[in-house]
Amino acid sequence: MKQIIFLTVLLLTLGVFTYTINRIIGFFRLTRPFPIKDYGKRFKVMLEVAFGQSKIFRRPVVGFLHALVFWGFCVILLGSIEMVVDGVSGTHRILSVLGVLYDIIIASGDVFALLVAISIAVFLSRRLFFRIRRFEGIEMKSGTHIDANIALSMILLLMLSLLGMNIFYYNHQLAEGDVIKGVYPVSSLMAPFLPEFTTSSLGSLHEICWWTHIFLIFVFANMLPYSKHFHVFMSVPNVFLSRLDPLGKLPNMDSITREVSFMLNPDQTLAAPVSDVPVERFGVKDVEDVTWKNYFDSLSCTQCGRCTAVCPANITGKRLSPRKIIMDVRTRMNEKGPGMINKGSDYSDNKSLLRDYITEEELWACTTCNACAKECPININHPTLIIDMRRYLVMEEASAPGEIKAVFNNIENNGAPWQFSNEDRLLWAKDFEIRVK
């Protein structure tokens, strides 16, 4: 009976999860290509930044607590896999055949369950009882805070149910005089403080915690793709897909590079392979213009606000918040994506990412200092997206602030950003006596 109920719940979970993932894959298909290479370098970055949590430690206390949660999830995941196998096959602690390795896995999971529970309790209290500036901003609506609090509460319940499961199992096996499979450094210390229960009650309480824990895992897995906590799945691959170029290097636009090289050398360029993707628009106006990596960034963003907290434009009171730029891509895709999938890529709802979500004022406030990209714990690169939107404004609409337009005119007329003609360029040296040997 237990197996039938488990299989039904598991199939339901997988069904909903598959539907959600298909929906997200459909959204990815609407985006533009983004080439990925240098897998070795990427693996190194992933080990250092994702598994080593190197950027998170820039804020030592909160960073350490967050790292505990991340490492705890990695360890506890192994125990959860065992629960699924047990649930499907009707076995009990099937991985105990691994011997010492099993003891290590279970002992680590038991310790991390407590550490993660403490860390999450700290995170929740910070959100509920303190005013943390990093969690404020025009993009942080009440729904955003509710989403974060629900996800944190669920993680706390997951850890408490895991600890409960371990404690009741430990006490039950002791009462029965049976072998205790695995090692429980935390639960064995807590077990004596529990009230006296009959052996059958201990068995029932263990079952209740087991079902609560697995049920929460299933609900959590299906909730994540709709929550900011999707980063639980997405942040590690997102770090693997990090931009490897130096932060200050501006990526060239393929279409423009081709045009320029054609002008410089028509014969050679005609022989060169041309991308299959037709250029319909320069830069980014709406979600169909972003690359799949931009969309991946938006799904991975933890909304931690570290980028906005270091943004000089934001600090000096401008409207720009790099976190908002990334969040807006996800919101806009959720809004326009279904229409484009159902009615075709020409679908228009008479709105766009640019202007309806992100204003020109925000875009031109960016100094391209890259502080946001440097600070982001999962290596999201905000300035490239901001520049692509500016490229749209300049190249498609000739729209730019007056000062920048003057610079463009000067470059066009004088070959330099200043208001002087080419002939006058050396006037500053006219009274110098220059000896030529």
Rounded least distance, CB 235 to ligand SF4, Å: 8
CB atoms under 10 Å from CB of 54, counted, come to: 15
* Cβ nearer to ligand SF4, comparing 160 with 241: 241
Q: Is 276 helix (H, G, I), strand (E, B) or coil?
A: coil
* Cβ nearer to ligand SF4, comparing 208 with 310: 310
Rounded least distance, CB 275 to ligand SF4, Å: 28
Rounded least distance, CB 125 to ligand SF4, Å: 20
Rounded least distance, CB 380 to ligand SF4, Å: 4
Q: Give the integer Cα–Cα distance in Å for 99 and 97.
A: 5
Cα Rg, the chain, nearest whole Å = 28
Q: Give the integer Cα–Cα distance in Å for 135 and 176.
A: 50
* Cβ nearer to ligand SF4, comparing 148 with 186: 148
Rounded least distance, CB 305 to ligand SF4, Å: 5
CB atoms under 10 Å from CB of 289, counted, come to: 22
Q: Give the integer Cα–Cα distance in Å for 194 and 166.
A: 13
332 Cβ neighbours under 8 A, 6+ residues apart = 286, 287, 353, 356, 357
| Residues making contact with ligand SF4 (CB under 6 A) | 301-307, 311-313, 320, 322-323, 326, 366-372, 375-376, 378, 380, 382-383
What dihedral do alpha carbons 200, 205, 211, 213 form, nearest 10°? -150
Q: Is 358 helix (H, G, I), strand (E, B) or coil?
A: strand
Residue with tokens 């890529």, as numbered in its chain: 345
Rounded least distance, CB 135 to ligand SF4, Å: 10
Q: Give the integer Cα–Cα distance in Å for 340 and 102.
A: 49
* Cβ nearer to ligand SF4, comparing 93 with 134: 134
Cα-to-chain-centroid distance, residue 279: 28
Residue 184's closest CA among 204, 206, 200? Answer: 206
Cα-to-chain-centroid distance, residue 243: 14
The Cα angle at residue 91 between residues 85 and 96, in degrees rounded to 5 = 80
The Cα angle at residue 254 between residues 250 and 259, in degrees rounded to 5 = 115
* Cβ nearer to ligand SF4, comparing 72 with 305: 305
* Cβ nearer to ligand SF4, comparing 119 with 379: 379
Q: Give the integer Cα–Cα distance in Å for 436 and 38.
A: 50
Rounded least distance, CB 229 to ligand SF4, Å: 12
Rounded least distance, CB 413 to ligand SF4, Å: 29
Rounded least distance, CB 368 to ligand SF4, Å: 5
* Cβ nearer to ligand SF4, comparing 136 with 176: 136
Rounded least distance, CB 327 to ligand SF4, Å: 8
Residue 121's closest CA among 68, 79, 192? Answer: 68
H or E element at residue 437: none
* Cβ nearer to ligand SF4, comparing 168 with 296: 296
